[in-house]
Structure 1
Amino acid sequence: MKFYFSPSNLAFYQDAFRSYYDAAGSWPADVVEISEDVFNQFTCATPDGKVLTCVSGQPLWEDAPAPSQEERVATAEQRRAELRLIADKAVEPLQDAVDLNMATDAEIASLNAWKQYRVYLNRTDISLAPDIAWPEIPA
């Protein structure tokens, strides 16, 4: 079996499926033949922190570019939303106990800690990503 790499598509192809590509008119004009070892190296799994690129028509792993500040902030926004969900789920039953005058002293203290955590979480400056001082999650 023959294996191919398309530098323009950064994609891999097997000769066994060429008839399907030809029928669809999608077999790339720039494919270069590669060894089965190279095919397996680049199609089994992407190494952490790497991206597929092409040098002189051959596939190559390169270090992934560092995320932009906008991407870091978006990741921080997502993390804050996830932490907020955790806090909301902790507050709901504790607030029910307080509202129904059934809360223990420990539940009241826990409710106050979680509410305080939510305030600090909302005040967290995520524009500083990745150097964010996240508030500590209550015990």
Structure 2
Amino acid sequence: MKFYSAEKDAFFAGELRARYESAGSWPADAQEVSEAVFEEYSGRPPLGKARAVGPDGLPMWVEVPARGVGDLLSDIDQAAGNARERFVSPGYLVDQEYKRAEEAARSFADAGYPASDVPSAVSSWASAKSWTAQQAADDIIATADYWYGAIDQIREIRLAGKAAVQAATADQREAVAQQYIDQLNTLAVS
């Protein structure tokens, strides 16, 4: 059984009611809804719609005013940022740490992996993974190349999406933007 609270504009699982009640969080206005109502209104809304409370206290779709080009372009940039974070660890100077390790690994590999001159960024990774210095350097380089490929793909999708939104008619913009946001979101979780 599923229940819907108009006050909270949220669904609640009937099988967890006792837990909600013992925690004091079961909504007083919860009313049982069919599985069909739950499935329709608990997922992603149709394009241009948002869930709202209907006059009968049940969920319904309402029109959302069209968003401006600037908002849609920002949404694409945000999705690209989320996708980038999947490939590059966020944090203060972390990107610099990875860049320095990559540069050291490439120099070490270009020099023929000299055992007498292993950069600390390579030796620390080799030590952490119980690898040889060459294995560590090759892994650092392969990871960097993978990230660059992903970042290039993200940039390509982001720029193509922004251009497509700007070229689209007003009534097509949201759908066009969503196509590119979906592509970026797929990268972010893959």
TM-score class, shorter-chain normalisation, is 0.3 to 0.5
The structure with the largest alpha-carbon Rg is: 1
Query: Which structure carries more helix by proportion?
Result: 2
TM-score (norm. length: structure 1): 0.47
TM-score (norm. length: structure 2): 0.35
Relative contact order higher in (CA < 8 Å, ≥ 6 apart)? 2
